[in-house]
């Protein structure tokens, strides 16, 4: 069993830009109509904003308020599909027999947003980029616990997905809408996470694990389960 504390969290999605909106969403989860919206990031200079994709903007909108004014901390970044829009644009370029943009290629790799975060914030803390499965939130927190076991008092966990291009959507049913969520994980015993019996009833409302985590945090749920394949996880909040 892992024990830890989520001392602060922030999330962003189209039409759900703050905790108050997430609390409303948690009462009756819905899929926002607008999929191509992106946060403005007025706290960044225009040149830095222009270099960020919509997915990166969501990450910065969620994580920046948690990091600003605090000492640098390691980052665990987790996404299942990553920058699918950038990757699809590269494939279209290849299909047209055109030269690839080195910048576009560099920004399409899985840890590119982490690199942009480090450069913009001028931080050199340890960072980990995970390519996750259905229980990605759980594995991201496992990674955070591993970093804490190496002496880090707090870790920034970032979970994000973007609505994929239309051509990919028949194979990416686990993304109801674009979102990013960030959590400051510290040593403590306010929360626990463990594998449990497979017969436990999941409380996921048909949502992927990152959105399910946000839902239960917003609802102040004391205990819930999340099942992926043959793994069932139990979250407990004290």
Kindly list the structural domains of the chain, giving each domain's residue range(s) and its CATH number in brackets, ordered by start: 2-237 (3.40.47.10)
Mean pLDDT split into 10-residue runs, the chain, 238 residues: 95 94 94 76 91 94 96 96 85 87 83 94 94 89 95 96 88 89 96 86 84 95 89 92
Name residues whose C-beta falls within 8 Å of residue 134's C-beta, 6 or more positions apart in sequence.
80, 174, 208, 209, 228, 229
pLDDT, residue 35, reads: 57
Q: Do 5 and 187 form a contact (C-beta atoms < 8 A)?
A: yes
Closest by Cα among 185, 142, 153, 216 to 8: 185
Indicate the pairing of strand 75-79 with strand 127-131.
parallel
SS (H, E, C) 91-137: HHHHHCCCCCCHHHHHCCCCCHHHHHHHHHHCCCCCEEEEECCCCHH
pLDDT, residue 172, reads: 82
Name residues whose C-beta falls within 8 Å of residue 69's C-beta, 6 or more positions apart in sequence.
none
Indicate the pairing of strand 179-195 with strand 223-228.
unpaired
Closest by Cα among 148, 160, 150, 135 to 229: 135
For 66, the token pair is 């948690």
């Amino acid at each position: 069993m892992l024990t830890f504390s989520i001392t602060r969290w922030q999330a962003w999605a189209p039409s759900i830009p703050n905790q108050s909106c997430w609390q409303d969403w948690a009462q009756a989860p819905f899929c926002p109509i607008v999929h191509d919206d992106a946060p403005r990031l007025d706290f960044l200079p225009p040149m830095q904003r222009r270099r960020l994709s919509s997915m990166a903007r969501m990450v910065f909108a969620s994580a920046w308020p948690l990091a600003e004014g605090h000492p640098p901390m390691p980052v665990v970044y987790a996404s299942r599909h990553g920058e699918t829009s950038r990757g699809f644009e590269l494939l279209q370029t290849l299909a047209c027999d055109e030269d690839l943009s080195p910048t576009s290629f560099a920004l399409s790799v899985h840890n590119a947003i982490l690199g942009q975060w480090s450069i913009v914030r001028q931080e050199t803390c340890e960072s980990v980029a995970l390519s996750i499965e259905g229980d990605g939130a759980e594995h991201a927190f496992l990674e955070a616990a591993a970093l804490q076991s190496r002496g880090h008092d707090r870790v920034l966990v970032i979970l994000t997905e973007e609505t994929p291009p239309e051509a990919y959507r028949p194979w990416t049913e686990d993304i109801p809408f674009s979102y990013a969520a960030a959590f400051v994980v510290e040593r403590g015993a306010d929360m626990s996470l463990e594998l449990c019996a497979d017969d436990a009833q999941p409380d996921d409302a048909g949502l992927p694990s990152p959105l399910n985590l946000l839902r239960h945090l917003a609802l102040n749920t004391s205990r819930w389960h999340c099942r992926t394949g043959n793994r069932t996880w139990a979250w407990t909040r004290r």
